[in-house]
Amino acid sequence: MPTELNISTKHCLVEQEGNVLIVTLNRPEAKNAFSSEMLLGMYKAWRLVDEDDNLYCAIITAKGDTFSAGMDLKVGPDGDQATAEEFMTIMATVPNVHWQALLRENRPCKPIILAVEGYALAGGTEILQGTDIRVAAEDAIFGVTEVARGLYPMSGSTIRLRKQIPYCIAAEILLTGDRVSAQQALEFGLINRVVPKGETLNEAKKFAAKICANGPLAVKAVVRSLREHTEHLSEDEAMQKSDELAGPVFASKDAKEGMRAFKEKRPAVFKGE
C-alpha cells in the first residue's frame, strides 16, 4: 500500500509505493485546476524524486473525472493560507517554481509516467509534454485550448508539441484549440496506451514496475540523455555527450551484476551502485 508523505498538500497527494512516487492532483471539485497548493506539492514531489536514490520513477495522476483543466487564476475560499504563503516564500528564491511544478523546467532525471482519466485541457495537456510515458483512459480528451480564450500556452507547447508529434498536427492543435480524443492522441503518437476507464493508474504501475526492475543508474542516464541531448546539438556532439553518460554506467557494480545475472540465467539484483 502507498504511504503518504509529509510534503502532500490539500490539493496534491504525494505517496510512495516501493521505489515509485505517486503524485495525485486532488482538487476534483475545481476540475483539478492548478492552485498554489497543488503547485507546491508538485514542485516538492519532483525535487524529491530527483534527489532520493530510493525513488526510481514517478507517476502523476488525478482524482475525479477530469485530469486537469489547467491554471486557475481565481483565489478559492477553501485555500490554505499557510500553504499559499509557503509557496510565495519559495517563489521569492526560486522564481520558476511554478514552471518546475508543471515540468516545463528542471525536470527530474528519472522517468515520469502520466495516467489520465477524463479531460486534460490547456495546462493539463501542457504538463503531459513534460512526462515520458503516457497512459490514457478511453474517454480521455486532450487539447491546448489557450487560443480559444485569446491566451498563449506558456507551459511550452509551442516548443515541445511539434517535436513530439508531426508538425502539421501540432500546428492544428495549437492554432484551432480543437480537442483531441484518446484514440487520436494514440494515433498521433502523443500517448503510449489507451485503456478502459478507471484502469490508467494500474497500467501506469505496470510501466513503473518494469522500470524499477532495471538498473537505476542506467535508467537515470538514459533519461538524462533524453532530456539534455536535444536537437540543438549536432549528432556528433550528442553522441560524445551520450558516451560521457555511458561510461560511469558500464563501470558500475550494477553493470557487472546485470551481466553476471544474464550469464547465470537469473533476475539481476540492482543496488544503484
The amino acid sitting at 55 is L
Q: Are 211 and 57 in contact (CB under 8 A)?
A: yes
Secondary-structure percent of the chain, ordered helix, strand, coil, rounded to 5? 45, 20, 35
Strands 133-137 and 193-195: parallel
Is 146 one of the catalytic residues? yes
DSSP 8-state code for residue 122: T
DSSP codes joined into one string, 45-62? HHHHHHH-TT--EEEEEE
Active-site entry in 146, 172, 203, 237: 146
Cell representation of residue 92: 521569492
Question: Which residues, at least 6 apart from 173, have a Cβ–Cβ distance to it below 8 Å?
Answer: 143, 144, 161, 180
Cell representation of residue 47: 525535487
| Beta strand extents in the chain (DSSP E only) | 3-4, 12-17, 20-25, 57-62, 66-68, 112-116, 119-121, 133-137, 141-143, 180-181, 193-195
By C-alpha distance, which of 77, 94, 92, 75 is closest to 36? Answer: 75
Strand partners, 180: 142
The distance from CA 189 to its chain's CA centroid, rounded to whole angstroms, is 16
Residue 88's pLDDT is: 83
The amino acid sitting at 66 is T
CA distance 229 to 3: 35
Q: Are 49 and 11 in contact (CB under 8 A)?
A: no
Residue 71's pLDDT is: 81
Residue 77's pLDDT is: 46
CA angle 174, 149, 188 (to 5 degrees): 25
Q: Are 11 and 35 in contact (CB under 8 A)?
A: yes
pLDDT along the chain (273 residues), means of 10: 94 98 97 94 97 97 95 59 80 90 96 98 95 98 94 94 96 97 98 98 98 97 92 90 95 96 95 93
* SS3 state of residue 146: helix
Q: Is 150 left (phi over 0), alpha (psi -120 to 50) or beta?
A: left
Active-site entry in 37, 117, 126, 203: 126
CA distance 14 to 4: 6
Cell representation of residue 146: 489557450
- For the whole model, what pTM was predicted? 0.93
